Amino acid sequence: MNQLLIEPAPAHVRRVGDMARIAGIVILVVVLIAIGMVLVRGPDFVARVTVVNTSPYDLDIDVTTGARDGWLPLSVATANTTTSTQEVVDQGDTWIIRFSHEGSTIDEVTTSRAQLARNHWRITVPDKVTQQLRAVGEPPDNS
C-alpha cells in the first residue's frame, strides 16, 4: 500500500478545510455584527433647535413626526425669550410643532425638515397663539 494513504499528516500541517471553516465562521460573525448594528441604530439628532417666543405667555413646545407617533417635549419657552434645546431627536421629513399653555393646546404648525434647516433650526411662536390666548381672556405671564 501507498504510505501516504496510511500515515496521518504531521501535526504541524494544517488542512485547507480547517482554515476555510474558520474563515467562514469569522466572515459570518462579521456579517452578523454588521446586521445587528443596523438593526439597533439609534435615532438621528439635530444639534440645536431654538424657539423664539415674542408672546407674553409661557408656552410648552412639543414636536412629533408626520405620523404623529408620540410627542417629544422640546422646550418651555418663557414669555418674551429665546430658548435653545440641544441634541433634539430628528423628527424626519415632517415636523409637527405643538404650542400649549397651561396644559391646553393652542396651535399646531406642520413644517418640513428642509424648511427648519433653512431657518437655521429656529421656530418662531406664531402670532396666532398670542391672539387666541388674548381672545379667551388669558392674562399675560410676564405681568
Q: Cα dist. 106→38, 97, 102, 141 in Å?
A: 39, 11, 10, 15
Q: Where are the domains of the chain?
A: 3-39, 45-135
- CATH class of the region 45-135: mainly beta
Distance of CA 139 to the CA centre of its chain: 36
Residue 142: pLDDT band (50, 70, 90) is low
Task: Dump pLDDT digits (tens) for 69-123.
Answer: 999 999 999 999 999 999 999 999 999 999 999 999 999 999 999 999 999 999 9
Residue 2: pLDDT band (50, 70, 90) is low
What is the arithmetic mean of pLDDT over 40-58?
Answer: 94
Whether the CA torsion 30, 35, 40, 46 is positive or negative: it is positive
Cα–Cα distance measured from residue 42 to residue 65, given in angstroms and rounded to the nearest whole number: 16
Contact 94, 65 (CB under 8 A): yes
Give the residue ranges of DSSP H helices in the chain: 3-6, 16-39, 113-118, 127-135
Task: Dump pLDDT digits (tens) for 3-39.
Answer: 556 666 666 666 667 778 888 899 999 999 888 888 8
Task: Give the phi and the psi of residue 13 in degrees, each rounded to 5.
Answer: -90, 125
Whole-number pLDDT of residue 47: 96
CA-based diameter of the chain, in Å?
108
- Hunting for cell 418640513 — which residue is that? 112
Cα–Cα distance measured from residue 59 to residue 127, given in angstroms and rounded to the nearest whole number: 13
Q: For all residues of the chain together, what is the average pLDDT?
A: 90
**Burial class of residue 2 (count of CB atoms within 10 Å of its CB; 0-12, 13-18, 19+):** exposed
